[in-house]
Amino acid sequence: MSTPLTSQAVEPAPGVRAHHEELSWWRKYVFSTDHKIIALQYAFTSMVFLLFGFMLMVLMRWQLAYPERSIPALPFVIPLGIIGLVVIFIAGVKPSINSLMGLLLLGLGAMVMFLTSGEERMPEGIMLPEFYNSLGAMHGTIMVFLGVVPLAVGAFGNFVIPLQIGAPDMAFPKINAASYWAYFVGGVVMLASFFVPAGAAQSGWTSYPPLAAVTPLSRDVLTGQTMWILGMVFLITSSLLGSINFITTIIQLRTKGLTFMRLPFFVWAQFVTSFLLLLAFPPLEAAAIFQLMDRVVGTSFFLPSGLVLSGTPLNVSGGGNPLLWQHLFWFLAHPEVYVLILPALGIVAEIIANNIRKPLWGYKAMVYSLIFLGFMSFIVWAHHMFLTGMGTVMSAFFQTTTMIISIPSVVILSCLFISLHGGSIRFNTPMLFALVFLPMFGIGGLTGLPLGLATSDIHLHDTYYVIGHFHYVVAPGTLFGLFAGIYYWFPKVSGRRMNELWGKIHFWGTFVCMNVIFFPMLIQGMAGVSRRFYDGGQQYAHAQSVLYLNEVMSIAAWVMAVFQLIFIINFFVCIRKGKKVTENHWQATTLEWAAAPTPPIAHGNFLTRPVVYRGPYEYSVPGHAKDYTPQNQARDV
């Protein structure tokens, strides 16, 4: 980019100051091509979506715990309103991240008000089954595609990769901005789908046809499901642009001396993740185009002949195959699971190495496992489809590859566990989240084994066991990794640190609640409770013995919401008023702490180009004066 390096430091003339500052705020924070600003745009947008997806779940949990009972909307809305006002109050009147976020929180409150009213959604506060389905579908879509992936890849990847590899920016700054804006538009389309007649998509985050191709029964062009597809096309474009950028940046822009085996594990994780995004998303794009054609033009890609809907034969040419969608969808969505988990693994590895004050055990084994994992993730997708009747030969193949892919995951996790041995561990907030990630991801992984075996999957398929397993990987797994990352890199972004005491309160509350929410799901699932019951299984005899768990889980979810409010307040207060920290707050070795100033300069990052002399985790090297030796340090001083 030709933008001068010192754009931040230019002082406007005294007379035009107020107007000029406002303009520069928009130029600097909204239409920016600097990777750090784009990362922050990703971070704030995705955190809003995470909160919104969580709110949808909070509403669903009411329905599951107390079906047929009117929902008290105000307890859900008032905290959002208060927090929004507090955040705005901290910000003051001038435009800033805080005031914008405060307004967004108020907007979220209004959105929840809207969702909990209306005859077609919740007549007299009682949730209709169709609306429950919408909430489920959109919770999954928003959490995965608009929340976790943009935060893990778009935000953390964008911010940290160029700094860790000693690059001035991403390889293609404009494409980077385009990637964010495509994501933003996709998110807006998804949100807007709540407002069209018949509401948002109802066919689950997987959008299986033929259901997804024919519901809602509306001749309107813009139905919720159609908007879901259009939104996905934008999100796919966004991740395509992003992944091209990440891979090119890591290959081309590593600084002098930074060989591949000297890369921090986080960069490796993002590198493999980007390849998964690059190669796995296009088949979903193809599938989305097919489904769009089915819905809008009236083709029959996923509609078999002789389909009867509500007693009347469907007037289509037929001859399509619903399983085709499942194959194309899971060809993306299984690698997507690794897209969700690998960046978090990378973050956790960084934080663990930093806080045990010794090198990671088996760095090379971890890297090779990562590459193998990325490769294998492309050939396990049909383990989601054991019950579709695709045949035992296929099942046997995919069950075998699924068992094989667990090996590299176990290698990485074991390396991280063994790394802890003999370290003098610093138990700060990021480390607590990172440490707990290990057993939580372990539970998530191990509960996946019975699902990966075709025989035991017959019993567990489509039950709450699947929900519990998946959420153990993504919620106390990935989300804890992301929380750890937020606490860890917050000082680098803002020059301040988050409050440790409130951080620890947030950690313990979330940790306990997470397990109270998700462990009962495993129990319910083993009892055979289906994941799709909109009344939580009240009408089913086999669910009666585990029905009481619904209320337990729901209360835990609401208590967890309170702990997230603590996080939000801690976050925004500390942007303004947090304790100022030194440049290398955690005494880390990697380049983003060792070479770049805090916060790094806009468009350029480094004062001089760093040169790398050593591996990423040279902690407690015997004979050295300090217990950490930064990568850019030529010899012991």
Partner 1 sequence: MEIPYTSAVHPETGLYNAKGGIWLFLASEVMLFGALFTSYILLRVGATEWPHGSAILNVPLATLNTVVLITSSVTMVMSWASLMMKNFGRYRLYMGLTILLGLTFLVVKSFEYGAKFEHGLFPSTSTFLAIYFTMTGLHGLHVIGGIIVNSYLWGPGRKLWKTDPQRFTNRIEVAGLYWHFVDIVWIFLFPVFYLL
Give contact residues for partner 1 (rule: CB under 8 A).
Answer: 1, 5, 167-169, 171-173, 175, 240, 243-245, 247-248, 251-253, 278-283, 285-287, 289-290, 293, 297-301, 316-317, 319-321, 324, 327-328, 331, 604-606, 609
Q: Angle at which helices 322-356 and 429-446 pack, to 10 degrees?
A: 140
Compare residues 143 and 233 and give the one whose CB is closer to partner 1: 233
Compare residues 166 and 452 and give the one whose CB is closer to partner 1: 166
Cβ distance 161 to 249 under 8 Å? yes
> Longest C-alpha distance within the chain, in Å?
82
Return the bridge partners of 140, or none.
none
Compare residues 192 and 324 and give the one whose CB is closer to partner 1: 324
Smallest separation, CB 169 to partner 1 (Å): 6
Return the bridge partners of 579, or none.
497
Smallest separation, CB 249 to partner 1 (Å): 8
Compare residues 170 and 411 and give the one whose CB is closer to partner 1: 170
Smallest separation, CB 154 to partner 1 (Å): 17
Q: Is 80 helix (H, G, I), strand (E, B) or coil?
A: helix
Compare residues 279 and 559 and give the one whose CB is closer to partner 1: 279
Smallest separation, CB 321 to partner 1 (Å): 5
- Distance, C-alpha 57 to centroid of its chain: 16
Smallest separation, CB 478 to partner 1 (Å): 24
Cβ distance 615 to 625 under 8 Å? no
Q: How many CA atoms lie within 13 A of 83 on its CB side?
A: 26
Compare residues 162 and 485 and give the one whose CB is closer to partner 1: 162
Q: Which of 195, 198, 71 is nearest to 131 (CA)?
A: 198
Q: Angle at which helices 322-356 and 464-473 pack, to 10 degrees?
A: 40
Spell out a b/e string for 512-537, using b for 16 or more CB atoms within 10 Å of the CB, else e: ebbbbbbbbbbebbbbbbbbebbbbb
Cα 389 to Cα 461: distance, rounded to the nearest angstrom: 13
Smallest separation, CB 382 to partner 1 (Å): 13
Q: Where are the beta strands (DSSP E) in 457-522?
A: 496-497
Compare residues 171 and 549 and give the one whose CB is closer to partner 1: 171
Smallest separation, CB 114 to partner 1 (Å): 36
Smallest separation, CB 285 to partner 1 (Å): 6
Smallest separation, CB 46 to partner 1 (Å): 22
Q: Which of 597, 598, 585, 599 is nearest to 628 (CA)?
A: 585
Smallest separation, CB 165 to partner 1 (Å): 12
Cβ distance 615 to 631 under 8 Å? yes
Pairing mode of beta strands 496-497, 579-580: antiparallel
Smallest separation, CB 608 to partner 1 (Å): 8
Compare residues 265 and 329 and give the one whose CB is closer to partner 1: 329
Compare residues 244 and 380 and give the one whose CB is closer to partner 1: 244
Cβ distance 176 to 603 under 8 Å? no
Compare residues 151 and 276 and give the one whose CB is closer to partner 1: 276
Q: How far are the Cα atoms of 399, 446, 454, 526 from residue 450, in angstroms, in the given order?
A: 10, 8, 8, 11
Compare residues 217 and 637 and give the one whose CB is closer to partner 1: 217
Smallest separation, CB 331 to partner 1 (Å): 7
Compare residues 305 and 424 and give the one whose CB is closer to partner 1: 305
- Write the DSSP assignment of 10-48 as a string of letters: PPPPGGGHHHHHHHHHIIIIIS---HHHHHHHHHHHHHH
Calculate the dihedral angle through the C-alpha atoms of 599, 601, 607, 613, rounding to the nearest 10 degrees. 60
